[in-house]
Amino acid sequence: MKTVLRTVIRLLFKPMLSPRVPISIQRQGSKAAGLLSKYPRGTETTRLEMNGVPALRLHAPGAQAGKALLLLHGGAYVLGGPASHGALAAQLGQAAGAEAYLADYRLAPENPYPAALDDALAAYRWLLEQNEAGQVAIAGDSAGGNLTLAVAIAIRDAGLPPPAALVLISPWADLTQSGETIRSRAQRDPMLNPAWIGACAKLYAGNIPTSDPRISPLFDNLKGLPPMMIHVGTEEILLSDSERLAQRAEAAGVEVSLHRFEGMWHDFQLHAGQLAEADASIAELGQFMRKHWRV
């Protein structure tokens, strides 16, 4: 299955993620790719709004009342949503013993920065009305990892109660593409290519330089952020983002752990229930959140 999935992603998905392909087609492809993901058996889903932000609530067996996971999905800020990431939210929620909430935040280019951040912060404020902050975690993959960092910084700067933990899956923390693996992994990465993420970065940033910490939170002040766990594959162009983020977080005094998964590609956790590596990652991230729930 691992070889089959890698081949399918390289031959079908990677060519679609190109500046030459209309975003409307990319979005349809992202939804179709979601069909390859598996929900935990017995997951119940509910549509709702979180302070005006459309969202999907996912209750997998074992979720405990009062514990909530906010998932901010990936997709380079231009695609993704419940169809592509609902299963990942449910898998993470079950592993953490929490109800999962997937915020369907506004996308670029129609809605560049700060629309996604505003929506993520609104969703977090809604969760604070329903739960104690110490019983809320925030997770994000790829661009969602960028957004998870950005909203954690916004929560800190606004003086809001912080979440219990941050979970970062292959975070796209640096939109300037200054990481070494952007180049050294360009051929090895079966999913992402530098040209596509570079184009998406500009669509999201609008008139703001991608080096601005608001766009690339790797360069922001990380002091005082909640404990974070970072998972990344060794074959992806964003490996350097994870490694540098872990270094900067540790230097800022943040509790941080980094797990590199040998031979794995970007966002392989989307295949939980099919890949042993994905299951191991989800389980470890779930245990991390369970460890940091605060009563």
Catalytic site residue from 30, 37, 84, 142: 142
Nearest to 121 by CA among 221, 53, 219: 53
The answer to whether 178 is a known catalytic residue is: no
**Radius of gyration of the chain, Cα coordinates, nearest whole angstrom:** 17
- Report the C-alpha dihedral over residues 182, 183, 189, 193, rounded to 10 degrees: 70
- Spatial contact of 28 and 81, defined as CB atoms under 8 Å apart: no
**Contact indicator for 243, 220 with CB cutoff of 8 Å:** no
What one-character DSSP code corresponds to residue 194? H
Q: Which of 160, 141, 170, 191 is nearest to 16 (CA)?
A: 191
List phi, psi (to 5°) of 140: -160, 145
Name the percent of the chain in helix, strand, coil, to the closest 5. Answer: 45, 15, 40
Longest dimension (CA), the chain: 50
Active-site annotation holds for 257:
no
**Per annotation, catalytic residue among 85, 266, 271, 292:** 266
CA angle 125, 119, 77 (to 5 degrees): 140
Task: Find out whether 71 and 144 touch, Cβ atoms under 8 Å.
Answer: yes
**Catalytic-residue membership of 266:** yes
End-to-end CA distance of the chain: 41
CA atoms within 13 A on the CB side of 74: 26
Strand partners, 32: none
Catalytic position from the list 99, 236, 240, 292? 236
The token pair at 146 is 């960028």
Catalytic residue IDs: 142, 236, 266
